[in-house]
Amino acid sequence: MKNFNILILLFSINGIGQILEKAEIKKNKQDSLINLFASNCASNYNYNYEMEEWQNCLDEGLKKDSTVAKFWQMKAMPYFKSRKYEIGMQYIDKAVLYDPKEWQPYRAFIKCIFAKTYREAIIDFEDCVKKFGNNYVMDHTYNFYIGLSYLQLNEYEKAEKLFKEYNDDLYRKRDKLEHPTALFYYGIALYEQKKYKEAIVEFDKALKIYTNYSDAKCYKAYSLNRLGIKENINKLFDEAEQDFKKGYKISEYNSAYETYPYQVKWEQ
Are the folds of 19-98 and 161-268 the same? yes
d(CA 162, CA 169) in angstroms, rounded, equals 10
pLDDT means per 10 residues in the chain (268 residues)? 56 57 79 96 96 98 97 98 96 98 98 97 98 95 97 98 94 78 98 98 96 97 95 93 93 89 84
What is the DSSP annotation of 124-171?
A: HHHHHHHHH-S-EETTEEHHHHHHHHHHHTT-HHHHHHHHHHHHHHHH
Cα-Cα-Cα-Cα dihedral of 121, 77, 99, 135, to 10°?
Answer: -50
Predicted pLDDT at 266: 79
> What's the half-sphere exposure (Cβ side, CA atoms, 13 Å) at 109?
22
Residue burial 163-173, b: 16+ Cβ < 10 Å; e: rest: bbbbbeebeee
Nearest to residue 152, comparing CAs of 185, 199, 182? 185
Enter the CATH code of domain 161-268.
1.25.40.10
Q: How many residues make up the chain in this entry?
A: 268
Cα-Cα-Cα-Cα dihedral of 107, 108, 110, 113, to 10°?
Answer: -170
d(CA 200, CA 220) in angstroms, rounded, equals 6
CATH pick for 19-98 out of 2.40.160, 2.60.40, 1.25.40, 1.10.10? 1.25.40
Predicted pLDDT at 265: 85
Domain boundaries of the chain, sorted by first residue: 19-98, 161-268
